[in-house]
Amino acid sequence: MLLALAIGLATPAAAQWDPPQGAADKAQAVYLYQLDTETLVYAKNEEEQRAPASLTKLMTALLLVESGQPLDTAFTIPQDLQPEFNEILANYGTRAGLLCGETVTLEDLLYGCLLPSGNDAASAIAWYLGNGDEAAFLEQMNQRAAELGCTGTHFSCPHGLDGIEQGTYSTAQDMFRIARACMENETLMEVMCSTDYWMPLTELHTQADAGAPEGKSYQIRSTVVMQNPDSPLYRDYIRGMKTGFTDEAGRCFVSGAQQGGASWLLVVMGAQDGLAEDGVNYAFHTTANLYDWALESLAPTAAVNTETPAAQLPLRWCAESDTVGLYAKDPLVVLAETGSSSLETRVETTVDSLDAPVQAGQVLGRLTALVNGETVGSTELVTLGNYERSFWLYAGDILRPWLPLLAVLGCVLLIGLALLVRMLSRRAAVRRRRKAIRVAPPRNSQPQNK
C-alpha cells in the first residue's frame, strides 16, 4: 500500500546543490556537509589525494585528547627534539615558541598545536604519545584514520610539513571524517574556538610579556582569522578548527559553523596562495563564499514529527477505536531550500488493516521524504498505544457468517421439535384410549339368578 502525501514545507535538495558561480573556483578540493540532516551539500574533487599541510595536526590533537592523559600533566620538552625543532625553523614552519628543556603541560601543547599551528608542539605531542618513538605515533595516526573510515589518507609526520612524496596525503572527504571526530570532542572544540592563549612562565621562558596574567609568559593566537572580530572577513557563525599551508598543499582550511541551532562542516584544500584585496587568503574567502550562500539558502526542515499520525489503518475487534494511527519512529529532518514549498512524503505500510490486539511499538510501515523524485530521508512508522480485543466484538464477528445457517438449523430444529411433540401427543392419546377400552365393563351384561 503506497500513499503519496504533499506537504507544504520547504524543498530539500536531493544530495548536492550548486553554489553561486565562482564561489569555490579558488580551491582545488571542497567538502561542505550539513551535520544535522547528514547531507552532503557540495563537493569538488573530494576523493583527490592532496597534501594536507597542517590539517594533519587535527589528527595529532585528536589522539592527544583521546589518550585519556590529564591535560594538566607536566611534560619536559626533550633535547632529542632539538634537531627537529631546528629543521622546523629552517623551513620557516609555524611554531608555538617551545624550547627543549622547558616544562609545560599537555594543555599547553594542545593549544600550541592548534592555535598558532605550532609544528614544534605537534612534534612534542608525537614524542610524548609515542614514548620517544615517532614511528609508533605515526602508526597510531594511521590506525585512527582507518577507524574513521579514511581510505585515501596516510601520515608520515605529526605536523604536515611532509608532502605526498614523503607519504603524507589525504582527501577532502577524509579530512571531513577526521574533523568531524574532532568536532564531537568538547575539549578540542573549546581549544579551537579560542582566539588566543597564554603560554606559561618556565625555566627557559622567564620573562612575561606586557599584560601577561600571573604565571604566564607570552601569548599565542589562532590562525583562524574568520573568528577574530577585527578581521575584514569575520563571521560570527565560524566555530574554530584548523588552517594549513605549504607550497605543495596550497591554502587549506577546515572549519565548523553554527547558525540557528544548525551545525555545518567545511573542508577547503588547495586554495590559491596569495591574498585578496582585503589582505585575507583565498581559503578563507572560499569558506566565506560557501557558508554565506549555504546558511542563507538552506536550512534543516522537519518533514514529519513524531506527534502527528502519518497514516491511519482500519482496526477490528476493539471497543475503544476503529482505527490505529501510525507515527514516525524518529523525527525526520531534511535539508531544504528556504522559501520553497514542495516537499513530498511517501507512506508505505506493511498491511492494509489490523485486528486487535495491537501492541505499542509495532513497526507497520515506513515514511520516505523525497525531492524531485529522489529520497532524502526515511523513518519507520510505528504504533504508539495498545489496543485491546473486545470479546463480544470478536465473538460477534466470528459468529456472523454462520448466522443464516444457524437460523435455518434453528427453524428445522423447532419444526422437528414440534413434529416430535405432536407425534408423542398422538401416541399418548392412543395409549389412553386403549387403556380405557380394556378396563370398561360390557354395556349389556345382566346379573345371574341362583
Residue-level pLDDT at 125: 98
* Cβ count near 186 (within 10 Å): 9
Residue 231 falls in the annotated catalytic set = no
Residue-level pLDDT at 6: 33
More reliable by pLDDT, 196 or 356: 196
Q: What is the CATH number of the domain that holds 373?
A: 2.60.410.10
For the sheet with 363-371, list strands across it: 2-7, 343-349, 363-371, 374-383, 323-328, 311-316, 354-355
What is the rounded average pLDDT of the residues 197-201? Answer: 98
pLDDT tier at 7, thresholds 50, 70, 90: very low
Q: Determine, yes or no, domain membership for 447.
A: no
What is the rounded average pLDDT of the residues 321-329? Answer: 91
Q: What is the CATH number of the domain that holds 96?
A: 3.40.710.10
Out of 12-16, 17-21, 192-196, 362-366, which region has the weakest mean confidence (pLDDT)?
Answer: 12-16
Q: Determine, yes or no, domain membership for 48.
A: yes
255 and 131 in a common domain: yes
157 and 76 in a common domain: yes
134 and 63 in a common domain: yes
Residue 54 falls in the annotated catalytic set = yes
Q: Determine, yes or no, domain membership for 444.
A: no
More reliable by pLDDT, 310 or 437: 310
Q: Return d(Cα 45, Cα 190) in angstroms, integer.
A: 30
Percent of the chain with pLDDT over 90: 69
254 and 149 in a common domain: yes
pLDDT at 255 over 50: yes
More reliable by pLDDT, 286 or 437: 286
Q: How many domains does the chain have?
A: 2
Residue-level pLDDT at 377: 85
Instruction: Let me know: does 303 contact 9? Beta carbons within 8 Å.
Output: yes
Q: Return d(Cα 220, Cα 231) in angstroms, integer.
A: 17
Q: Determine, yes or no, domain membership for 375.
A: yes
Spot the catalytic one: 26, 44, 117, 217: 117
Q: Determine, yes or no, domain membership for 441.
A: no
pLDDT in tens, 395-433: 666 666 765 766 677 788 888 887 888 888 888 878 777
253: nearest Cα among 292, 221, 226, 219: 226
Residue-level pLDDT at 385: 84
User: How distant is the alpha carbon of residue 285 from its chain centre?
Assistant: 29
Percent of the chain with pLDDT over 70: 89
Residue-level pLDDT at 403: 58
207 and 71 in a common domain: yes
pLDDT tier at 3, thresholds 50, 70, 90: very low
pLDDT tier at 348, thresholds 50, 70, 90: very high
Burial category of 380 from C-beta neighbours within 10 Å (exposed 0-12, middle 13-18, buried 19 and up) = middle
DSSP, residue by residue, 271-340: EPSSB-TTS-BHHHHHHHHHHHHHHHHEEEEEEE-SSS-SEEEEEES-SS-SEEEEEESS-EEEEEETT-
Q: Which of 371, 392, 413 is the last residue of a domain?
A: 392
Q: Determine, yes or no, domain membership for 423.
A: no
Burial category of 105 from C-beta neighbours within 10 Å (exposed 0-12, middle 13-18, buried 19 and up) = middle
Spot the catalytic one: 26, 44, 54, 217: 54
More reliable by pLDDT, 366 or 336: 366
* Residue 287, C-alpha cell as written in the block: 569558506
pLDDT at 144 over 90: yes
Q: Determine, yes or no, domain membership for 415.
A: no
pLDDT in tens, 20-59: 999 999 999 999 999 999 999 999 999 999 999 999 999 9
Spot the catalytic one: 26, 57, 156, 170: 57
N residues, the chain: 450
Residue 274 CA: distances (Å) to CA of 247, 266, 332: 11, 21, 43
Residue-level pLDDT at 443: 59
Encoded amino acid at 9, one letter: L
* Residue 418, C-alpha cell as written in the block: 414440534
End-to-end CA, the chain: 113
60 and 149 in a common domain: yes
Instruction: Let me know: does 197 contact 220? Beta carbons within 8 Å.
Output: yes
Q: What angle do CA 84, 127, 57 make, to 5 degrees?
A: 80
Residue-level pLDDT at 1: 39
Instruction: Let me know: does 245 contact 92? Beta carbons within 8 Å.
Output: no
Residue 67 falls in the annotated catalytic set = no
Q: Return d(Cα 332, Cα 368) in angstroms, integer.
A: 9
Instruction: Let me know: does 255 contact 235? Beta carbons within 8 Å.
Output: no
224 and 178 in a common domain: yes
Q: Average per-residue pLDDT in the chain?
A: 89
Write out the residue range of the structural domain in which residue 233 sits. Answer: 29-271
* Cβ count near 362 (within 10 Å): 15
